[in-house]
Amino acid sequence: MSRRLFIFGLGYTARVIANHAEARGWEVVSTGREGTLAFADEGNVRLALADADHVLSSVPPGKEARGEPLDPVLESYGDALAGKALSYLSSTGVYGDAQGAWVDESSPVGTGRRTARAEADGEWLRRGARVYRLPGIYGPGRSILERVAEGRAHRIDLPDQVFSRVHVEDIAAGVIAGLDAPPGAYNLADDLPCSQNLLVELACRLTGAPLPPLQTLDEAQLSPMARGFYAENRRVANGKAKRVLGWRPAYPDYAAGLRALSATMSPSVASPAPSPASSDQR
C-alpha cells in the first residue's frame, strides 16, 4: 500500500520533491499552481489531509502590510495537521546577517529582514515539523545561466560578500531523506559558499556571453528586493543534514551544478543575448 504525501504549494521546488516521492511509490496530493486541489477547497483538502501520511508545506508567510496571515496553511488548516508528520520549506534568511560567518541550526534567528519567515519557521518547529532552511535555489530553467544569457546578470563590487545556494534536486533528495527523520531544523545548502560574481563569471564562460562590468550597488540600479539580497552576508553549514539525514549534495558546489545545467540547455538559451544588462534582480 502506497504512502500519501500532501503538499501545500506545488511550485518549482515542491514539484521536484513530488517527482522524487512518486518515484519511490508515494501517492502525492497537492495544492498550488500545478496542484490537484484548490487551496480554498476546504472540504476536499481536509479529506485529503485526513488520509495523508506526511504533509509538506512550501507556502511562504503572508505579507503583514497587506493583512495576510502569518502562515496561510496554519491559519486555514492548522487544526487538521495534529498528529501528522510534517515538513516545511523555510529559508536561511531567518539567520539574518552573519557578516560572512558560518551559521548552523543552533545560530540565532529572527534578526534579519525576513522576520515573518522566522516566525513561521518557529511555529512549524513548535508543531514538530522537519524544517528545511534553504539558501538561493537554482535548477533547470532557473539559474544564473539564463540571466547571463539574457543579459540580466550583474557583477557587484563587494569583494567580501558570500552566499550559499543549493540545487533543486539536492533539496528534493534532502526532503525525501528526512521524511522519517527526527523533527527539527535542517540546513540544505551546498558545500561551497562563495560570491555571486564567481557564478556570473563561470556562467559567462559556459554560455559565451560577455562579462558584465563590475559595478557598485548604486551603479547597478538594483530593485529594492535585489539590494536586499546583498544586505546579508553568511555561510550556511550543512553538517547536521549530512549527519542526521545521511544526505550528500549531488552538486556540492556551484561549478558542478552550473556545468550540469549547461549541458542540458538549448542552444538558443546558451547563446549570448544581444541586449544590454538590465536592472533585474539576481
For residues 187 and 191, what is the distance between their CA atoms, to the nearest angstrom? Answer: 11
User: What pLDDT is recorded for position 47?
Assistant: 98
184-213 confidence digits (pLDDT tens): 999 999 999 999 999 999 999 999 999 999
69-101 confidence digits (pLDDT tens): 789 999 999 999 999 999 999 999 999 999 999
User: What pLDDT is recorded for position 228?
Assistant: 83
Count of beta carbons in the 10 Å neighbourhood of residue 83:
7
Q: Tell me the pTM.
A: 0.92
User: What pLDDT is recorded for position 56?
Assistant: 98
Question: In this structure, are residues 118 and 173 in contact, taking their beta carbons and an 8 Å threshold?
Answer: no
User: What pLDDT is recorded for position 115?
Assistant: 87
For residues 130 and 23, what is the distance between their CA atoms, to the nearest angstrom? Answer: 21
User: What pLDDT is recorded for position 267?
Assistant: 60
Residue 214: name the closest of 138, 161, 142 by CA: 161
User: What pLDDT is recorded for position 185?
Assistant: 98
- For residue 133, the SS3 value is strand
Count of beta carbons in the 10 Å neighbourhood of residue 102:
13
User: What pLDDT is recorded for position 165?
Assistant: 98
Look at the block and give the residue holding cell 552576508. 233
User: What pLDDT is recorded for position 67?
Assistant: 63
Question: In this structure, are residues 128 and 185 in contact, taking their beta carbons and an 8 Å threshold?
Answer: no
User: What pLDDT is recorded for position 279?
Assistant: 26
Residue 56: name the closest of 5, 3, 118, 95 by CA: 5
Q: Which three three-digit cell numbers place residue 189?
A: 545548502
Residue numbers of the chain with a pLDDT score lower than 70: 1, 64-67, 266-282
